[in-house]
Amino acid sequence: MEKMILNGKLVAQTEIKVDFEDRGYQFGDGIYEVIRVYNGQLFTAEEHLKRLMDSAKHIFLSVPYSASEINEQLQELVKANSLESGIIYLQITRGVSPRNHAFPNPSVDCMYIAKTKAVPRSTANADTGVNAITTEDIRWLRCDIKSLNLLGNILAKQKAAEAGCFEAIQHRDGTVTEGSSSNVSIVSGGKIITHPANNLILNGISRQVMLHLCASNDIPVEEREFTVDELMNAEEVFLTGTTIEVLPIIKIDGTVIGDGQPGQITQKLQELFSNEVERQCGVRN
Ligand SMILES: Cc1ncc(COP(=O)(O)O)c(C=O)c1O
């Protein structure tokens, strides 16, 4: 029987019911994280849980557990479900209360659930690269918060899906921000360029791993805004994200990027990322 976490306790998945007045259900009033598990080990869990706590703080949500308590609970969950390779999805909402936009007063207990899902580590897309479209970024101005409100991201991803593409690369007035569920980087003049970690993007944990790997391997990086024009004329374009790791983009809006193959720097980063997974979790493809 598949186990989940409900408010800090391991329970059978069938025991979990959502109240129609849960604020996550009615308003998207909550936060979430997705953490990769390799070889039964959580990858970059501390970084994910720090971001979870930061997101909670930004929306004035009080979480009754510390990051290290949640980390231990998640490790128990992985063990209980014998998860080898996959993800943990975790979400915390502001709890159940009669519908009213303002926070419940007095406050109510938050609703915290976590679930595992087995996902094999696939290299098919990583080897060939994928296609993307560009689209206007219509989201709010606090994209640094990993909020349950994902309508802007969903509409962008659906547009990509309808175009037969893997990802939608969003831009604000011609400045590239990020993918609908990933960060975007380009290689231009042999240098990696990626949007600065501010309120307009989610500071991806994989993005942070990539930046550390660049720093320790003398790969030049510039964290600055870049335009759709620079994107389309880049030598290489790649995405980073928890489930995709480092994923090459070979075509955008039907235009071939570089020579239409995963680029050298992207491939180097894929190798470095795999080494890092092996270092932290002891597993390789
Ligand atoms: C909008 C957005 N940007 C970036 C990312 C990548 O973040 P991470 O590397 O932490 O998975 C995600 C991941 O889901 C995302 O939804």
- Please indicate whether residue 146 is annotated as part of the active site: yes
Spatial separation of the C-alpha atoms in residues 68 and 75, rounded to whole Å: 11
Q: What is the mean pLDDT of residues 258-270?
A: 97
Spatial separation of the C-alpha atoms in residues 91 and 30, rounded to whole Å: 7
- The residue contributing the CA closest to ligand 1 atom 15 is 181
- From the list 9, 57, 117, 146, the catalytic residue is 146
Q: What pLDDT is attached to residue 210? A: 98
Q: Which atom of ligand 1 is nearest to the CA of 183?
A: 4
Q: Which atom of ligand 1 is nearest to the CA of 240?
A: 9
**pLDDT band for position 284 (cuts 50, 70, 90):** low
Centre of ligand 1 to C-alpha 283, Å, is 23
**Ligand 1 pocket test, candidate residues 242, 243, 244, most atoms within 8 A of CB:** 242
Q: Would you give the DSSP letter of residue 72?
A: H
pLDDT greater than 60 at residue 285: no
**pLDDT band for position 155 (cuts 50, 70, 90):** very high
The structure's pTM equals 0.97
How large a percentage of the chain has pLDDT more than 90? 97
**pLDDT band for position 281 (cuts 50, 70, 90):** very high
- Mean pLDDT over the full length of the chain: 97
Q: What is the mean pLDDT of residues 225-245?
A: 98
Peptide bond into 104 cis (omega under 30): no
Q: How far is CA 8 from CA 27, 81, 147, 152, in A?
A: 23, 16, 20, 31
How large a percentage of the chain has pLDDT more than 70? 99
**pLDDT band for position 265 (cuts 50, 70, 90):** very high
Spatial separation of the C-alpha atoms in residues 55 and 38, rounded to whole Å: 25
Q: Which domains does the chain have, with CATH numbers?
A: 3-118 (3.30.470.10), 124-281 (3.20.10.10)
- 150 CB contacts (<8 Å, ≥6 apart)? 28
- The residue contributing the CA closest to ligand 1 atom 16 is 181
| pLDDT per residue as tens digits for the range 104-116 | 999 999 999 999 9
Q: What is the mean pLDDT of residues 195-205?
A: 98
Which residues, judged by CB distance below 6 Å to any ligand atom, belong to the binding site of ligand 1?
34, 153, 178, 181-183, 202, 204-207, 240-242
**pLDDT band for position 121 (cuts 50, 70, 90):** confident
